[in-house]
Amino acid sequence: MEVDRELVEAAQAGDRWALEELVRRTHRSVYTCALRLVGNPDDAADVTQDVYLRVVRKLGGFRHEASFSTWLNRVTTNVAMSTLKRRTRRFAVEGAAVPPDTRDPAPEPAERAEAIALARRLERLVAGLPEGQRQVLVLRDIYGQSTEEVANAMGLTPGAVKVRLFRARERLKAELEATEGGQVVTLAGRRRATGRHS
Amino acid sequence: MTNCHSIRPLLPARADELTLFEVRTRAEHVADCARCATEAAAYSRLGQALAVMASLEVDPADGTLERILVAIGRRRAGVTNPRVLAAAGSAGALVATVVVARAVRSRRRSRHRPSPWPRRLRLPNLPVPTPALARAK
């Protein structure tokens, strides 16, 4: 999700069309991040709406020090974490929503296409991780936040984040190998040989 | 060479999550151990696939976008709607103009109309009161 600086500046200046265009271009990405964090489509839709209400309030203070997408990701993380803290009910691991099929980005080279195919399968496995492990993995490994940023967002120590990350990655790799019946490293070659498509 | 058991916790970690010593130890072990090299490669591939997930998007339910646009429209209407701001600005400017015009007009009138009061009050020459103590002397 890359957004033109001009569009952001126009929205900051009060251009209503620019703000709506900003929402149109980014809402899928915000919704996807929210869904991965909260694990439930209804809550993810609420989080997405709250994110943009906060964006309207805070956009004037955005100084372009980071990219808009990075800033938007942080807002999404904060809103999602606040929602989770407020939420009284807890979703059991078995009850975690299976995300619908992801949309492909623009056509990519073959190597990236392999990674995309693997990523689509991973989406379901990530959704099935325990909530605490899923959140640190999503923020750190998918959205590239630093260990310290993840710790701040989740109210954990960096050490606790590393422990959860270790468990999440180990579990994810094991489940991936179990579902595919082999090593992660051999997935690409095996799929090519058998002609399977996800 | 370090044994596999002690290296195992380091295999899923990204390089920036480890100390330089841990990175070097892992690299040296993986170079000599085929089993751990396979594990490390699997984690590396997993990391790449997870990073790719950031660019994959899920479509929200129908109507989500419209709901967001309505919500932010309502919020903006109360705070920063340009039309509301323009109308409020015009009304404020009109009120300010009327107030200033009336003030100028009343000032002009007061200049031309002779005042019933003298410009400076002149007090008659009255004897200065003497304190009682001085009088007693």
> CA A84, CA A73: separation in Å to the nearest integer?
16
Q: Does A18 touch chain B (CB under 8 A)?
A: no
Q: What is the enclosing helix (H) or strand (E) of B70?
A: helix B64-79
Cα radius of gyration (chain B): 44
| Chain B positions in Cβ-Cβ contact with residue A99 (cut-off 8 Å) | 58
ipTM above 0.95, yes or no: no
Q: pLDDT (tens digit, 9 = 90+) per residue, A37-85?
A: 999 899 999 999 999 999 999 999 898 888 999 999 999 999 999 988 8
* B45 vs A52, A123, A185: nearest CB: A185
| Chain A positions in Cβ-Cβ contact with residue B76 (cut-off 8 Å) | 16, 19, 56
Q: pLDDT (tens digit, 9 = 90+) per residue, B103-128?
A: 778 777 766 666 555 555 555 566 66
Alpha helix ranges (H) inside A39-157: 41-58, 68-86, 110-127, 131-137, 147-154
Q: pLDDT (tens digit, 9 = 90+) per residue, A7-24?
A: 999 999 989 999 999 999
- Given the structure tokens 């809103």, which residue do they identify? A79
State the amino acid at position B95 in one-letter form. V
